[in-house]
Amino acid sequence: MGYLLGIDAGSTNYKAIACDKTGRFLASARRPANTKYHENGWAETSPELIWEGVAACIAEIAAQLPGETCDGVAVASSGEDVLLDGAVQSVYPAIRWFDTRTEAIASAWEPFGREHIYRITGINPNPVASITKMQWIKRYVPEAWGRARLWIPIAGFISLKLTGTARAPWTNACRSMAFDLTRRDWSTEILAEAGIDRSMLADPIRPGEQIGTLTPAAAAATGLKEGAPVFAGGVDYACGTFATGIIRPGQMLDSTGTSEQLLAILDAPESSAASMEKNFTSVAYVVNDAYYIMGMIVASGGIFEWFKNTFACASFDQLVGEASLEPIGARGCMMLPYFSGRHTMGSDPAARGAFVGLTRATTRGTFVRAILEGLCYEMHSIVQAMQELSGQSVESIYAIGGAAKSTFWMQMKADVTGIPVRSKDVPEAAALGAAMLAGLGAGVYASPEEAVARVRFAEREYVPDEARHAQYMELYETLNRALYPALREFNAAVTRAQGTNETK
């Protein structure tokens, strides 16, 4: 019996899973990601340690399945890149995506034309974009840059270590802010502006296409058989979306953890000025040569953790249980969820969280009900904007992550948005999505549609209640939408005042 191997090289852990064609897990392994955090807020890791951790995961899988054949391998990774010399050794640590040392470099792209960059790449200039990390190394560590011969995404780096062939999966390349979405190739215009030679970049490749086969050295390091086929994977959240079964326009993913990502499939990139101003990302997807549009609530489940820890509260389930006893509208209490700034619907780092409408009758359950409603209103505003900008209706929302276990929260998401919500428990979604891409490349699945038909997980559907939806929309239109504009200048002033005080 053959198996598919999916790897998820994330920022916290490296994971590998082996599954059969129905997605049933046969073996799994994980290792810590060895991220080094510096006092100045920087975060880095060694590319060699990335490979060491991933190779150890694969070796553990191989040991659990002795004598079995690996039909295909693919890699999902976070949106980070590495710089290598001619001997495929790193010249500088991999800078983690959330390391914001490049904020000034990202801002320096403004004169080039933010709207022009967005039309080409589908993202706004920002410090997460890996081209800003490369520019930082070039500027501040010139001796390392002088030795560099290859700039490649982490997913491509692991595949390079497996096969000896350098390729950059489309979805990972998109996170660079140097990838032309229309041509599906590196943008010569953006690279020229950054002063980076095209020859340094790995050639782009469609997710699911074969990169090569396992080399003797990689076979010795991993325990897999020499010659096992390796296929292009993708960026972790896109692979996880595929594993959830989302492959066509009209379907949306809602992934809620510490933050909340909302991702909808499109036939073409949404690169309008309006989309840019609302700070949506719209880039290549992993199957069907499709695209997606993505928005984010930076603090979502993280607000619950803050509330629970700060006020020494009970468990998540007990808090939600108390909230369920409160009426719609939380007795006039409302919350803005910008506890870590505002990302989508117009980036505003100075935005702050807020509770308003408090009285002496406000209870703990009232607070929690306001948190849930505030997050759902923010979700609704993002979903509504996605539909308006793309011209495509969202027919269903597939919810994964910790929130998907709460029936009350899921029903509220459906009632507020007016769209059916389906909760799914998809284990190790990014690694599983990578394994499914390997299955497409290996011919285990004839199409993405066949892949999601075979890899299925139990789901529960939450149908919107029309009366509750009408109540929520009245509150949203008359009260909630006015909160952010009313507090924007106040929050900006607080940020300025704090900055002044911190310099004294």
Q: What is the pLDDT of residues 312-332, one digit of tens each?
A: 788 889 999 999 999 999 999
Length of the chain equals 504
Q: In order of start, what are the domains of the chain with their CATH numbers?
A: 2-239 (3.30.420.40)
CA separation for the pair 174, 228 (Å, rounded): 27
CA angle 218, 432, 61 (to 5 degrees): 40
Among candidates 214, 196, 179, which has minimal Cα distance to 438? 214
CA separation for the pair 400, 477 (Å, rounded): 28
DSSP H or E segment with residue 156: helix 154-163
Burial class (CB in 10 A: 0-12, 13-18, 19+), 469: middle
Per-residue buried b or exposed e for 13-37, using 16+ beta carbons within 10 Å of the residue's own CB: ebbbbbbbbebeebbbbbbebebee
Looking up tokens 């609704």 gives 380
Per-residue model confidence (pLDDT) at position 500: 61
Beta bridge partners of 82: 152
Looking up tokens 């469609």 gives 206
CA separation for the pair 85, 157 (Å, rounded): 12
Per-residue model confidence (pLDDT) at position 1: 66
DSSP codes, 353-380: -EEES--TT--HHHHHHHHHHHHHHHHH
Query: Coil, strand, or helix at residue 488?
Result: helix
Per-residue buried b or exposed e for 425-448, using 16+ beta carbons within 10 Å of the residue's own CB: ebebbbbbbbbbbbbbbbebbeeb
Among candidates 431, 433, 436, which has minimal Cα distance to 15? 431
Radius of gyration over every alpha carbon of the chain, rounded to an integer in angstroms = 23
CA 376 distance to own-chain centroid: 19
CA angle 188, 90, 156 (to 5 degrees): 55
pTM score, whole prediction: 0.90
CA separation for the pair 334, 355 (Å, rounded): 6
Helices 316-324 and 301-310, axial angle in degrees (round to 10) = 100
Contact 254/400 with Cβ under 8 angstroms?
Answer: yes
Beta bridge partners of 5: 18, 73
Position 503, amino acid = T
Contact 100/78 with Cβ under 8 angstroms?
Answer: no
CA separation for the pair 434, 76 (Å, rounded): 6
CA separation for the pair 370, 381 (Å, rounded): 16
pLDDT truncated to tens, each residue of the chain (504 aa)?
Answer: 699 999 999 888 999 999 999 999 999 999 999 888 887 779 999 999 999 999 999 999 999 999 999 999 999 998 899 999 999 999 999 999 888 899 899 999 999 999 999 999 999 999 989 999 999 999 999 999 999 999 999 999 999 999 999 999 999 999 999 999 999 999 999 999 999 999 999 999 999 999 999 999 999 999 999 999 999 999 998 999 999 999 999 999 999 888 899 999 999 999 999 999 999 999 999 999 999 999 999 999 899 989 998 987 888 899 999 999 999 999 999 999 999 899 999 989 889 999 999 999 999 999 999 999 999 999 999 999 999 999 999 999 999 888 888 999 999 999 999 999 999 888 899 999 999 999 999 999 999 999 999 999 889 999 999 999 999 999 999 999 999 999 999 999 998 888 765 545
CA separation for the pair 427, 181 (Å, rounded): 31
- Look up residue 286 and give its two tokens: 């992993």
- Look up residue 332 and give its two tokens: 């006039």
Looking up tokens 């108390």 gives 322
Phi, psi of 44 (to 5 degrees): -140, 165
Burial class (CB in 10 A: 0-12, 13-18, 19+), 387: middle
Per-residue model confidence (pLDDT) at position 503: 47
